[in-house]
Every structure is written in structure tokens, then in C-alpha cells.
Amino acid sequence: MDTMDTEERKRELNKTDKKETDKNTQFVKEEEQNTREYVFQKNKITKTAFYIIIAFLILLVVGLWVSGVFFESSTTNPNP
């Protein structure tokens, strides 16, 4: 009886795996498309969030560069 359960589980897993591969997920969905299989929707909120994240990353890179310039040690090694 235990092997029957194992075989049934394998068949169910195979069905689930096959079903998962049938999905057609899009990366960006247009507003007028009628689908639920997408990662991002092209609308005002997504565009605003994209610009905020890009601005934050630019500020982060500029901050790292500025801190490197100001905290750079220009002294020589005191122990020759």
C-alpha cells in the first residue's frame, strides 16, 4: 500500500510540473491586456517606482564615490 501511495504521488507531481510549464508569463504587461500572468504592469505606479529606484541607485553610487574621495588617506606609511 505504501508503494501505491508513492506511485500516486509521483504521478501527481508529474501532472503539477507539466501544468506549470504551460504558463506563459510575461515580464511587462500592457494596461489593455487581459491576463494575470505577468511580473510588472506598464502603468503610472510602476513607472514612478522605477524612476524612484533608479534615482536611489544613482544617489548610492554618487555617495560611495564622494565618500571615497573625502576619506581617501593621502598620508604615507609612518613606519618605513
Query: What digits encode the pLDDT tens for the residues 2-33?
Result: 555 777 777 776 665 555 555 677 777 777 77
Looking at the domain assignment, is residue 8 inside a domain? Answer: no
Task: Compute the distance between CA of residue 46 and CA of residue 50 in angstroms, rounded to an integer.
Answer: 6
Question: Residue 77: inside a domain, yes or no?
Answer: no
The answer as to whether 72 is a domain residue is no
User: Is residue 36 in a domain?
Assistant: yes
What's the pLDDT score for residue 56?
98
Q: How many domains does the chain have?
A: 1
Q: What is the mean pLDDT of residues 28-48?
A: 79
Between these two residues, 15 and 37, which has the higher pLDDT value? 37
Summarised one tens digit per residue, pLDDT across range 47-64 is: 899 999 999 999 999 999
Rg over CA atoms, the chain? 27
Q: Is residue 46 part of a domain?
A: yes
Q: Which residues touch 37 (CB under 8 Å, ≥6 apart)? A: 23, 24, 25, 26
Q: Find the domain containing 35 and state its range.
A: 24-67
Q: Give the position of cell 534615482.
A: 55
* pTM, two decimal places: 0.51
